[in-house]
Structure 1
Amino acid sequence: MGRSKLAKFAAIAERENVIEPGDALYGQLRGKWRELHFENNNPVVLEVGCGRGEYTIGMARMFPDTNFIGSDIKGARLWKGSTMAEEEELDNVTFLRTFIEQLEENFAENELDQIWITFPDPRPRDRDIKRRLTSPRFLDMYEKVLKPGGIVHFKTDNEALFDYTLEILAERKPKDLLYTKDLYNSDLQEHTMGIYTTYEKRYLGEGIPIKYLQYKV
């Protein structure tokens, strides 16, 4: 591991806006994020696979009365988001370093109001289907930790992953499903709040349309 990454890992280990394995609070906030961490009763929104936290930070800026959690396993990526949150003094955002497979170890049933999945690895190989963040096992997890009526949002540039997700959802018959294969030429733009990730800007620059869907559990 390079010195830069080591420095970033050391930095996030000292930050109050990052929860990771080894912290006293890791795994102890399940069912108590509002009470023990945010110290309010505001809605809680999770971004899974948040990377550098651009979407999490963007939403936190826009909605100060909502709590946002960005989750990713890559500590060097979380360093960027947590740094921006510190610099902007955003006290309604935090980051959780964990594997998405451990979602239910960190969140209780009905604890979350929304989940965002933004530009995940498409996992195109058949042997990796179960690792896709919109595969049935992950959708089951999302439905458990979301409150009734909670919303799942999904953005991607990858048409094969988007089609796969629609096929899975067709079998599950979700409530109030909305979707488009060309977000920025649709009337669903308002749901994504005009927040662009670095990858999204790159895809749009290459002429690749952005796909988006949302549904309620």
Structure 2
Amino acid sequence: MGKDKLRRFAEVATFANVVQLDAGKPFKGQWSKSFFKNDNPLVLELACGKGEYTVNLATMFPDKNFIGIDYKGNRIWRGAKTALETGVNNVGFLRIQIETLLDYFAPGEVDEIWITFPDPQPQLSREKKRLTSGRFLEMYRSVLKPGGFVNLKTDNDGLHAYTAEKIAETGLNLHVKTEDLYRSEHADEVLSIKTYYEKKYLKDNKNINYLKFSF
């Protein structure tokens, strides 16, 4: 492991806005009240990477609480450090495997979920790893409040089509579906937040897909 990664791992462990693995379990059902010290709505970004979307959303919506979730501490370091340096206090980061989501959030605790440019896991043998596979959808159903939204932004046409099929198969409520976000009427200020990787995709003339659905 490189020196920079080691330094980031050591530094992120000292950040007040980062919760590591099992340390997050006492907050289950109490994230807004106990971690953020308020009663504001709770929004998650799954596989948040460097946390760019999480921090930008938190800046736009100071009346909501945001948690970026990823397993790689050296990635979380960037978003957490930016939030601390800029005084964005309604954002936190949780370092866990997303497969363990139900261990950390109570039924109906979450108001909205964002999934931005996840690994599409294109191999059929890895379908269960896709963040919109059936098992993950059931997790989201559990932690979301009734009517809570799930948002998916992806450059991967296959994952977009797969998710649309799952929404139809499961009888979920589809609110927005577009294969070319920035040439659609849906590209508002929130959806126009661009991560480092999204900017790269756009430079390569890739289309950006977007889905919004609820249970």
- Shorter-chain TM-score: which interval? over 0.9
Q: Between Structure 1 and Structure 2, how many residues are aligned?
A: 215
Distance apart, 1:191 and its partner CA: 7.2
Deviations for 1:117-171, whole angstroms, at most 9, x for unmatched residues? 0000011111100000010100110110000010000000000111111111111
Task: Please give the TM-score of this superposition, normalised by the length of structure 1.
Answer: 0.96
In structure 1, the partner of 2:118 is: 120
Alignment of 1:91-130 (within 5 A): 91-130=89-128
Deviates more, 1:46-55 or 1:167-176: 167-176
1:158 corresponds to which of 132, 156, 159: 156
Asked if residue 64 in structure 1 is aligned to residue 62 in structure 2, the reply is yes
1:180 corresponds to which of 178, 181, 187: 178
In structure 1, the partner of 2:19 is: 19
Distance 1:191 1:141, change over 3 A: farther
Counterpart AA for 1:17: N
Asked if residue 138 in structure 1 is aligned to residue 136 in structure 2, the reply is yes
In structure 1, the partner of 2:82 is: 84
Distance 1:169 1:207, change over 3 A: same
Asked if residue 213 in structure 1 is aligned to residue 211 in structure 2, the reply is yes
Deviations for 1:74-120, whole angstroms, at most 9, x for unmatched residues? 00000000000011011100000000001000100000000000000
**Separation in 1, partners of 2:6, 2:22:** 16
Partner-residue secondary structure (3-state), 2:27: coil
The gaps in structure 2 that reach 5 residues or longer are none
Distance 1:191 1:213, change over 3 A: farther
Deviations for 1:54-83, whole angstroms, at most 9, x for unmatched residues? 000110111111100000000000000000
Distance 1:180 1:68, change over 3 A: same
Please report the RMSD computed on the Cα atoms of aligned residues, expressed in angstroms: 1.1
In structure 2, the partner of 1:32 is: 30
Distance apart, 1:188 and its partner CA: 1.3
Moved >3 Å (runs of 4+)? none
Contact 2:57-2:190 within 8 A present in 1 as well: no
Distance 1:145 1:22, change over 3 A: closer
Distance 1:40 1:147, change over 3 A: same
Task: Please give the TM-score of this superposition, normalised by the length of structure 2.
Answer: 0.97
**Separation in 2, partners of 1:160, 1:175:** 20
